[in-house]
Amino acid sequence: MRARWLSLSLVLAAVFAAPTVFAEGKGDKDAKKSDTSGKKGTKADADGVRRDPKGITGITPTFEAVLKGNAAYAAKDWDKAMAAYKDAIEKDSKDPLGYYMLGEAQLAAGKLDDAGQSWQTALKTSANDDVMHAKALFVIADLKERQGKLEEAAAAWKEYGTYAGAHPKAKGYAATATERQKAIDTHNDVAAKAAKVKQRIQQREQEQLEQAKTPTPPAKKK
């Protein structure tokens, strides 16, 4: 689904950009460049503030772990990515980003059930974050559809559409929810009609079988 991959790409782009919302504190925004600005890696400077490789923006150890996970994810090293995201969660179990990205890595590794559990936790921990909450609802609905749980998927898409429509700041894709619900309804209608046709064919075959078992009465002599 195009919207799904667009959603993930936006998350990765935002995380790699190291926005100030993940900074350690307000004071970090005004932090001056340190002497280590040209060095690789993220280290704590003399003032105790952790900065990105360019020494400009303060970032938390949690966000640092997420960045490592994203680098591994981009390299398709799912095990390394999952380990990094789990490390991020250990550092801050209340941050939904770690759970969200862990779910993405688990999905890529084919661990659908694990991904679902991670996203459910991301949903629970993002009550005060419209953007992450909407993204969690989106991937949960998408996952249920992938798993063929169409009834649950339809309900999940409806929940996502309602939330995205009511929270403009979430920048969700409410139209996608409507499209997926229609697609599921169409699939169910086609499946129902196919089931009826199959039932009629089986019934006809059974009737023919019964007729074949019934001996034909001998012709009467004139």
Q: Which of 42-46, 59-63, 128-132, 198-202 has the lowest mean pLDDT?
A: 42-46
Higher pLDDT, 13 or 145: 145
Report the pLDDT value the prediction gives residue 46, as an integer from 0 to 100. 56
pLDDT of residue 55 exceeding 50, the answer is yes
Tell me the helix, strand and coil percentages in the chain, rounded to 5.
Answer: 70, 0, 30
Please give the Cα distance from 27 to 172 (Å, whole number).
Answer: 31
Residue ranges and CATH numbers for the domains of the chain are 2-23+59-153 (1.25.40.10)
User: What would the 3-class secondary structure string for 54-103 be?
Assistant: CCCCECCHHHHHHHHHHHHHHCCCHHHHHHHHHHHHHHCCCCHHHHHHHH
Residue 51: phi and psi, rounded to 5, are -125, 160
Q: Which residues contact 154 (CB under 8 A, 6 or more apart)?
A: 181, 184, 185
21 pLDDT more than 60: no
Task: State which H helix or E strand residue 145 sits in.
Answer: helix 130-146
Contact status, residue 31 vs residue 59, Cβ threshold 8 Å: no
For position 43, what pLDDT does the model report? 52
Adjacent-strand bridge partners of 44: 50
Q: What is the value of pTM for the model shown?
A: 0.66
Q: What is the pLDDT of residues 149-195, one digit of tens each?
A: 999 999 999 999 999 999 998 888 878 888 888 888 787 777 678 77
Q: Where are the beta strands (DSSP E) in 17-145?
A: none
Decide if pLDDT at 63 tops 60.
Answer: yes
Report pLDDT for 157: 95
Structure tokens at 198: 């199959």
Determine the 3-state secondary structure of 76 from DSSP.
coil
* Percent of residues, the chain, with pLDDT higher than 90: 48
**Whole-number percent of the chain with pLDDT over 70:** 70
pLDDT of 11 > 80? The answer is no
**Which tokens belong to 146?**
């992938």
Angle at 82 between CA 76 and CA 85, to 5 degrees: 120
Tell me the pLDDT tens digit for each residue of 24-50. 333 333 333 333 333 444 455 555 556
How far is the C-alpha of 106 from the C-alpha of 116, rounded, in Å?
A: 9
